[in-house]
C-alpha cells in the first residue's frame, strides 16, 4: 500500500464507474474498490435499460438535476465512445379515467423540468403509431427524447475509459473500516489497506453501511426495492416500438413495456420493499402477473416466447430524493439513495460530485485528449461483430456472439470473473435457449478464468 | 411453385438449414435422387446435430442395421451425406430467410448471400428454459438444460455439478440420469409439476433402480443459491415444503422448435407447433421452402427425423424435376379444440402430385379421451376415437381429409365419446 491515491471510490456500480471516469479525466489518480468479484454486481446488475429524460422527476430535486445533466452528457459520451443507442421515444399511457385525469399535471411537470417536447397525443394517433397496443388505452402523451441503451456496456465504458487513462480497479476488495487522519484516508479492506486523499462512497445498496464504516454515521437507511422483469424473445420486439410507460404512482413508475437495445422486449418491474440487500430472486407469481399485464397492454404478447426473467435491487431510502453529501472537513463524499434513475443520472451525479469538491487539487491536470477504450457493442440495431470478417465464427447462436468478441473480453483490461459477468459483456447465454447450444463451448473457452468454472474435467475436484 | 425461369441463376439446387439427422438424411437422399448441387448449412463446428452429444444407445438400428451410440450415428449420417456428394458447410449461420429461397449467411469471414432453388428448414428442437417454465428463485450458476449437460459431458468430458436435481420427467429427463452417471454425478431427485411422470409409466421403476426419488405434483419450485445452486425448494403433492440440497438443476424436456429464424421470413409459422406450417409434401407457405425433422413439432426420435428427411427429399426431387405443376389451391387444417396443441400438415394442397404424407401428426396440451372429428363447414368428413396424453406420438390417416378438401378449411376438434 505504498501508493497514495487522490481518490478512492467505493463501489463499481454505474455511479461509481461514472464518478471514476469524471475524476480521472479531471486529473485525479483514482482507485475503484469493489467488494464483489466483478463490477456491476449490485443495483446496476438489473434495470430497465432506458436513458430517461427525467421528465417525471420532482421539479427542483437533485435527482431531476442529475438526470437532466446525465442525459445530456450521456448523448455526448455515447457519440465519443460509439456506444450504441436507440431513440425509441416513450408514451406515457393512461388505462382508466383516473390516470387520464393526471396527464395534464404530468405534462406540466415535464415542461417545468425542461423537457419541452412532451405533448399530449390523441388516443387514435397513439394506436395508429403503435398498433400492437391494446385499444383499451384511454389516452396518453409522448416523451420523444427517451432512449434504449446498453446499461452494462455504458458503465463498463465509463470505467474502461477511466482505466485507459490511469485509474485502477480493485475487485474482491470490501472496505471494512476507514480512518481519516492528517488529511489522508486509510481504508482497511478485505484485500489490504488503501491510502487516498479523498473517499467517495458509491456503494449503492451498501451506502449506509459504508458510511458507518468510514465516518461512523449515516443519514439514511437503504431499504432495497426489488423489481422483477420478464424478457420476451426478439419476435416480441416487433409489437411495440416506443417505450410504454404507465402513469406513475407514489411508489413506482409502474409496469413498463419496452424493447431492449439487444432486440428483446421487457415487461417490468414490480416494486417490492425488502430487508435483504442481496435477495434478487424472482417469484413465479410475480413473473406470471407481469406476463399477464404485458398481454393486457400488448395483446400480441400472448403468443410470444419468454426468454428470461430477472430481478434488480434499487437502493431506495426513506427519502424521495438522492442523498448526496460532502463532509469537506473529512474529504469524504457520500453518493447515496440513487434509487431507480442511476443509469440515466450517473454522469450528472459525477458532475455534481465535481461541483461539491470545488477547488480540490489532484495529482494530474485535466486530460485534454483522453484515451478511448474498446467497448462492448452488442446492440441488435447496430452493426455487430458477426457481420465482419475474422470474427472467429459464432459461439452463441441466439445472440450471435462471436468467438472474437468472447476472446477480446476474456483477454481485455477488465475480464469477467464469472459467467454472469461474461453474459453482461457479450450476451452469451442471454438468448432464447439460455445455453442449450453454447454451454459446452463456453466451458472450454472460459476454462481457468472463472472463480466457479462452468464445468470441471472428469477426475478434477 | 417456382417457375423454371426463377430456377435459373441459383447458387445451389437445394440448401438445407441444419445438419442434424433429418437434414443429413435428406441431403444424402437428394443426391441419390440425382439432384445436382446440395449443400447443408450447419452453424456448429461439426455437423450431426443433437445425437453428437447423446452418448447412449440406441441409434441407427433401422437406418443402418446397427446399434449405435449418438456420436457414432451422427458421424455415420455425415459420412453418408459426404459419400453421396453433399457439400457440408459448418460454422455457417443462416441469419435471414428471404422470399424465393435466398439466404443471408454469416461465417467467420463475414456476410454472404446464397440463392437456392429450394431451401429445407431442418433446424430441430431445443428444450424449454427455466424462465419459460416460470421457475422462480435466485439466478444461481448451475441451471442447465439436458442438451447443455450432454454436450458438456460427451463433447468436453466436463461435469458442471455433482448432485443435481432433474426438473421434468420426459424420456430425455431419464436419459439425463445416464448422462450424469457417465461422469459420476448422482441425481438427488427428479421433480415434476404434473401429478405423474410425463413419459410412459413403465419407465418409472428405473428411478428406484438408480436410487433417484421422484416428486410429482409439485408446486411453486424455487431455486436457492447466491452464486451457485444450493437447493431446490417446492411444495410437494402433500402440501409440504421440501428443501432439497443440490448443486445444480437440469431443466429437461418440453421441447420447442428452434424456429426463431422464421421471424420476419416469408415462411408462415404455426403457433401450435411453433414450427413452419407445411402441407402434406412438407412444403411451406413460400413454395421455395420445405421443412422436415423436429422443427415441425416437438419432438420425435432421431430415427423418425431421419426417415422424414428421406421421404421429404423424394418429394423435393420430384418437385424440382416436375418444372412446376400448377396447384389447384391450398386449404388449412385448423385446430379448434384447446386440448390439441397442433396438427400437421397445417396446409392441405390440392395437387396432382403423388407421394405426399399419408398420416397426420397430432400433439396434445392435455390428456384426451374422446372423438377426434374433422369437419368442413360443420359437416363431419372424418372421425376417429382418441385416448392419449401429451408428449406422445399420435398419428391418424390423412386420406379422408385430403379427399374432402375442396379448398375450404378443415376443422379438427375433440368431442365426447357417444
Please write down the HEC assignment for all residues of B220-235: EEEEECCCECCEEEEE
Predicted confidence at residue B353, as pLDDT, reads 86
The answer on pLDDT for B6 being more than 60 is no
Predicted confidence at residue B4, as pLDDT, reads 45
How far, rounded to the nearest angstrom, does the alpha carbon of residue A241 sit from its chain's CA centroid? 21
Query: pLDDT tier at A281 (50, 70, 90 boundaries)?
Result: very high
Q: Is the Cβ pair A436, B127 closer than 8 Å?
A: yes
* Residues B121, B134 share a domain: no
**pTM metric for this prediction:** 0.95
Q: Are B24 and B70 in contact (CB under 8 A)?
A: no
Give the closest-approach CA distance of A444 to chain B in angstroms.
8
Q: Is the Cβ pair B131, A308 closer than 8 Å?
A: yes
Nearest CA in chain B to A440: B152
Whether A454 contacts chain B with CB within 8 A: yes
Within the 86-145 window of chain B, which residues sit less than 8 Å (CB to CB) from chain A?
Answer: 91, 93, 95, 106-111, 126-127, 129-132, 134-139, 141, 144-145
Query: pLDDT tier at B226 (50, 70, 90 boundaries)?
Result: confident
The answer on pLDDT for A316 being more than 80 is yes
Predicted confidence at residue B9, as pLDDT, reads 81
Q: What is the pLDDT of residues A326-339, one digit of tens each?
A: 999 999 999 999 98
Predicted confidence at residue B5, as pLDDT, reads 47
Q: Are A295 and A133 in contact (CB under 8 A)?
A: no
| Eight-class DSSP state of B68 | B
The answer on pLDDT for A180 being more than 70 is yes
Buried b vs exposed e over B109-127: b needs ≥16 C-beta within 10 Å? eeeeebbbbbbbbbbbbbb
Nearest CA in chain B to A279: B138
Q: Which of A434, A446, A452 to mutate to test the interface with B (most CBs of B within 10 A)?
A: A434
Residues A113 and B118: their CA atoms lie apart, in Å, by: 58
Q: Look at residues B196, B228, B251 and tell me which one is the last residue of a structural domain.
A: B251
Residue count of chain A: 461
Whether the CA torsion A19, A22, A23, A25 is positive or negative: it is positive
Q: Is the Cβ pair A440, B157 closer than 8 Å?
A: no
Residues B262 and A363: their CA atoms lie apart, in Å, by: 58
Predicted confidence at residue B324, as pLDDT, reads 60
The CA-CA-CA angle for residues B56, B59, B63, to 5°, reads: 170
Q: Looking at residue A279, which CATH number applies to its domain?
A: 3.30.9.10
A91 - beta bridge partners? A142, A244
The answer on pLDDT for A286 being more than 70 is yes
Query: pLDDT tier at A139 (50, 70, 90 boundaries)?
Result: very high
The answer on pLDDT for B8 being more than 70 is no
* Residues B121, B17 share a domain: yes
Predicted confidence at residue A209, as pLDDT, reads 98
Predicted confidence at residue B406, as pLDDT, reads 87
Terminal Cα-to-Cα distance of chain A (whole angstroms): 35
Within the 169-208 window of chain B, which residues sit less than 8 Å (CB to CB) from chain A?
Answer: 183-184
Q: What is the DSSP string of A75-96?
A: HHHHHHHT--EEE--EEEEE-S
Residue B3 falls inside a structural domain: no
List alpha helices for A138-255, DSSP H: 151-164, 207-215
* Residues A153, A140 share a domain: no
A226 - beta bridge partners? A272, A313
Decide: helix, strand or coil at residue B410: strand
Find chain A residues with C-beta within 8 A of B138's C-beta: 279-281
- Phi/psi at A188 (nearest 5 deg)? -85, 125
Give the closest-approach CA distance of B50 to chain A in angstroms.
10
Whether B294 contacts chain A with CB within 8 A: no
For A96, left (φ over 0), alpha (ψ -120 to 50), or beta?
A: beta
Give the closest-approach CA distance of A206 to chain B in angstroms.
17
Q: What is the pLDDT of residues B398-415, one digit of tens each?
A: 999 999 888 899 999 999
Decide: helix, strand or coil at residue A32: strand
Query: pLDDT tier at A252 (50, 70, 90 boundaries)?
Result: low
Nearest to A425 by CA among A402, A409, A404, A449: A409
Least confident of A244-258, B153-167, B370-384, B391-405: A244-258
Q: Look at residues B265, B300, B322 and tell me which one is the last residue of a structural domain.
A: B322
* Residues A295, A190 share a domain: no
Residue A285 falls inside a structural domain: yes
* Residues A303, A171 share a domain: no
The answer on pLDDT for B330 being more than 90 is no
Higher pLDDT, B123 or A1: B123
Within the 372-401 window of chain B, which residues sit less than 8 Å (CB to CB) from chain A?
Answer: none
Q: Look at residues A375, A400, A421 and tell me which one is the last residue of a structural domain.
A: A375
A120 - beta bridge partners? A141
Count: domains in chain A: 3
Q: Helix B21-32 vs helix B302-321: angle between axes, to the nearest 10 degrees?
A: 40
Give the closest-approach CA distance of A396 to chain B in angstroms.
10
Q: What is the mean pLDDT of residues B97-121?
A: 97
Residues B359 and B343: their CA atoms lie apart, in Å, by: 11
Predicted confidence at residue A459, as pLDDT, reads 62
The answer on pLDDT for B3 being more than 60 is no
Q: Is the Cβ pair B151, A281 closer than 8 Å?
A: no
Q: What is the mean pLDDT of residues B12-25?
A: 98
B148 → closest Cβ in A233, A287, A435: A435
Buried b vs exposed e over A259-290: b needs ≥16 C-beta within 10 Å? bbbbbbbbbbbbbbeeeebeebbbbbebbeeb
Q: Which three cell numbers stand for residue A412?
A: 481485455
Q: What is the pLDDT of residues B382-396, one digit of tens each?
A: 999 999 999 999 999
Q: What is the DSSP string of B340-360?
A: EEEEE--EEE--S-----SEE
Mean pLDDT (chain A, rounded) = 95
Predicted confidence at residue A249, as pLDDT, reads 63
Residue A380 falls inside a structural domain: no
Residue count of chain B: 418
Query: pLDDT tier at B212 (50, 70, 90 boundaries)?
Result: very high
Q: Residue A141 is part of which domain span?
A: 85-148+223-311
Find chain B residues with C-beta within 8 A of A279's C-beta: 138
Find chain B residues with C-beta within 8 A of A264's C-beta: none
* Residues B245, B135 share a domain: yes
Q: Are A292 and A257 in contact (CB under 8 A)?
A: no
Predicted confidence at residue A9, as pLDDT, reads 98
Nearest CA in chain A to B219: A284
Q: Look at residues B226, B251, B276 and tell me which one is the last residue of a structural domain.
A: B251
Q: What is the pLDDT of residues B338-370, one digit of tens each?
A: 999 999 999 999 888 889 999 999 999 999 999
Share of chain B above pLDDT 70, in %: 97
Residues B182 and B170: their CA atoms lie apart, in Å, by: 19
Q: Residue B187 is part of which domain span?
A: 130-251
List alpha helices for B168-325, DSSP H: 171-182, 205-210, 302-321
Amino acid at each position: 500500500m505504498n501508493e497514495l491515491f487522490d481518490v478512492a471510490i467505493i463501489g463499481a456500480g454505474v455511479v461509481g464507474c461514472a464518478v471514476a471516469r469524471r475524476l480521472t479525466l479531471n486529473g485525479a489518480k483514482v482507485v475503484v474498490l469493489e467488494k464483489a468479484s466483478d463490477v456491476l454486481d449490485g443495483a446496476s446488475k438489473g434495470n430497465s435499460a432506458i436513458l430517461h429524460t427525467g421528465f417525471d422527476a420532482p421539479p427542483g430535486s437533485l435527482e431531476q438535476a442529475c438526470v437532466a445533466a446525465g442525459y445530456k452528457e450521456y448523448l455526448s459520451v455515447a457519440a465519443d465512445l460509439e456506444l450504441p443507442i436507440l431513440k425509441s421515444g416513450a408514451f406515457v399511457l393512461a388505462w382508466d379515467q383516473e390516470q387520464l385525469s393526471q396527464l395534464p399535471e404530468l405534462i406540466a411537470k415535464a415542461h417545468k423540468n425542461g423537457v419541452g417536447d412532451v405533448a399530449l397525443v390523441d388516443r387514435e394517433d397513439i394506436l395508429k403509431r403503435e398498433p400492437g397496443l391494446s385499444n383499451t388505452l384511454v389516452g396518453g402523451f409522448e416523451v420523444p427524447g427517451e432512449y434504449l441503451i446498453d446499461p452494462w456496456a455504458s458503465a463498463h465504458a465509463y470505467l474502461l475509459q477511466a482505466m485507459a487513462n490511469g485509474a485502477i480497479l480493485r475487485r474482491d476488495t470490501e472496505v471494512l473500516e476507514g480512518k481519516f487522519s492528517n488529511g489522508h484516508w486509510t481504508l482497511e479492506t478485505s484485500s489490504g489497506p488503501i491510502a487516498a486523499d479523498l473517499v467517495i462512497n458509491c456503494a449503492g445498496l451498501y451506502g449506509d453501511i459504508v458510511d458507518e464504516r468510514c465516518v461512523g454515521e449515516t443519514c439514511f437507511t437503504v431499504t432495497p426495492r426489488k423489481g422483477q422483469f420478464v424478457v420476451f424473445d426478439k419476435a416480441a420486439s416487433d409489437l411495440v416500438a416506443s417505450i410504454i410507460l404507465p402513469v406513475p404512482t407514489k411508489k413506482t413508475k409502474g409496469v413498463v413495456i419496452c424493447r431492449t437495445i439487444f432486440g428483446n422486449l421487457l415487461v417490468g418491474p414490480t416494486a417490492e420493499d425488502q430487508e435483504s440487500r442481496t435477495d434478487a430472486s424472482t417469484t413465479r407469481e410475480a413473473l406470471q402477473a407481469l406476463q399477464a399485464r404485458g398481454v393486457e397492454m400488448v395483446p400480441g404478447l400472448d403468443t410470444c416466447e419468454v426468454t428470461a426473467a430477472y430481478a434488480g435491487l434499487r437502493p431506495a431510502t426513506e427519502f424521495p430524493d438522492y442523498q448526496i453529501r460532502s463532509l469537506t472537513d473529512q474529504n469524504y463524499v457520500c453518493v447515496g439513495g440513487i434509487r431507480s434513475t442511476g443509469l440515466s443520472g450517473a454522469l450528472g451525479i459525477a458532475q455534481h460530485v465535481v461541483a461539491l469538491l470545488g477547488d480540490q487539487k489532484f495529482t494530474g491536470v485535466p486530460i485534454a485528449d483522453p484515451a478511448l477504450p474498446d467497448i462492448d457493442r452488442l446492440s441488435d440495431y447496430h452493426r455487430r461483430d458477426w457481420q465482419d470478417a475474422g470474427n472467429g465464427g459464432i459461439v452463441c447462436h441466439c445472440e450471435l456472439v462471436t468467438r472474437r468478441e468472447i476472446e477480446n473480453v476474456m483477454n481485455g483490461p477488465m475480464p469477467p470473473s464469472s459467467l454472469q459477468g461474461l453474459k453482461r459483456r457479450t450476451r452469451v447465454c442471454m438468448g432464447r435457449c439460455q445455453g442449450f447450444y453454447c454451454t459446452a463451448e463456453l466451458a472450454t473457452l472460459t476454462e481457468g478464468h472463472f472463480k466457479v468454472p462452468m464445468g470441471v474435467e472428469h477426475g478434477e475436484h | 411453385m417456382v417457375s423454371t425461369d426463377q430456377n435459373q441463376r441459383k447458387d445451389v439446387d437445394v440448401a438445407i438449414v441444419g445438419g442434424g439427422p433429418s437434414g443429413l438424411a435428406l441431403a444424402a437422399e437428394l443426391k441419390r435422387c440425382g439432384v445436382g448441387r446440395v449443400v447443408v448449412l450447419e452453424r456448429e463446428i461439426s455437423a450431426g446435430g443433437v445425437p453428437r452429444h447423446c452418448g447412449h444407445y440406441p441409434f441407427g438400428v433401422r437406418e443402418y442395421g446397427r446399434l449405435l451410440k449418438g456420436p457414432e450415428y451422427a458421424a455415420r449420417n455425415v459420412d453418408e451425406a459426404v459419400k453421396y456428394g453433399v457439400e457440408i458447410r459448418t460454422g455457417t449461420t443462416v441469419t435471414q430467410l428471404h422470399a424465393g429461397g435466398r439466404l443471408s449467411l454469416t461465417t467467420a469471414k463475414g456476410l454472404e448471400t446464397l440463392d437456392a432453388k429450394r431451401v429445407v428448414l431442418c433446424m430441430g428442437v431445443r428444450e424449454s428454459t427455466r424462465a419459460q417454465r416460470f421457475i422462480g428463485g435466485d439466478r444461481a450458476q448451475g441451471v442447465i438444460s439436458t442438451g447443455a449437460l450432454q454436450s458438456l459431458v460427451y463433447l468436453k468430458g466436463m461435469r458442471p455439478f455433482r448432485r443435481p436435481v432433474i426438473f421434468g420427467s420426459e424420456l430425455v429427463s431419464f436419459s439425463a440420469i445416464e448422462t450424469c452417471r457417465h461422469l459420476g454425478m448422482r441425481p438427488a431427485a427428479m421433480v415434476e409439476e404434473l401429478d405423474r411422470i410425463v413419459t410412459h409409466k413403465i419407465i418409472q421403476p428405473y428411478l428406484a433402480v438408480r436410487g433417484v426419488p421422484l416428486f410429482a405434483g409439485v408446486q411453486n419450485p424455487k431455486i436457492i443459491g447466491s452464486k451457485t445452486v444450493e437447493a431446490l425448494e417446492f411444495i410437494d403433492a402433500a402440501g409440504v415444503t421440501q428443501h432439497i440440497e443440490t448443486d445444480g438443476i437440469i431443466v429437461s424436456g418440453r421441447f420447442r422448435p428452434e424456429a426463431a429464424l422464421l421471424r420476419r421470413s416469408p415462411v408462415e409459422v404455426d403457433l401450435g407447433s411453433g414450427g413452419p406450417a407445411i402441407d402434406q409434401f412438407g412444403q411451406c407457405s413460400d413454395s421455395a421452402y420445405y421443412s422436415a425433422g423436429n422443427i415441425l413439432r416437438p419432438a420425435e426420435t432421431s430415427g423418425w427425423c431421419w426417415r422424414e428427411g428421406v421421404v421429404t427429399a423424394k418429394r423435393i426431387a420430384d418437385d424440382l424435376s416436375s418444372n412446376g405443376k400448377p396447384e389447384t389451391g391450398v386449404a388449412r387444417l385448423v385446430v379448434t379444440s384447446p386440448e390439441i396443441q397442433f396438427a400437421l400438415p397445417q396446409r392441405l394442397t390440392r395437387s396432382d402430385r403423388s407421394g405426399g404424407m399419408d398420416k397426420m401428426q397430432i400433439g396434445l396440451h392435455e390428456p384426451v379421451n374422446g372423438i377426434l372429428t374433422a369437419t368442413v363447414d360443420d359437416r363431419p368428413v372424418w372421425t376417429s376415437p382418441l385416448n392419449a396424453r401429451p408428449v406422445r406420438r399420435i398419428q391418424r390417416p390423412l386420406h379422408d381429409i385430403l379427399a374432402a378438401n375442396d379448398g375450404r378449411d378443415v376443422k379438427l376438434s375433440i368431442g365426447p365419446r357417444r
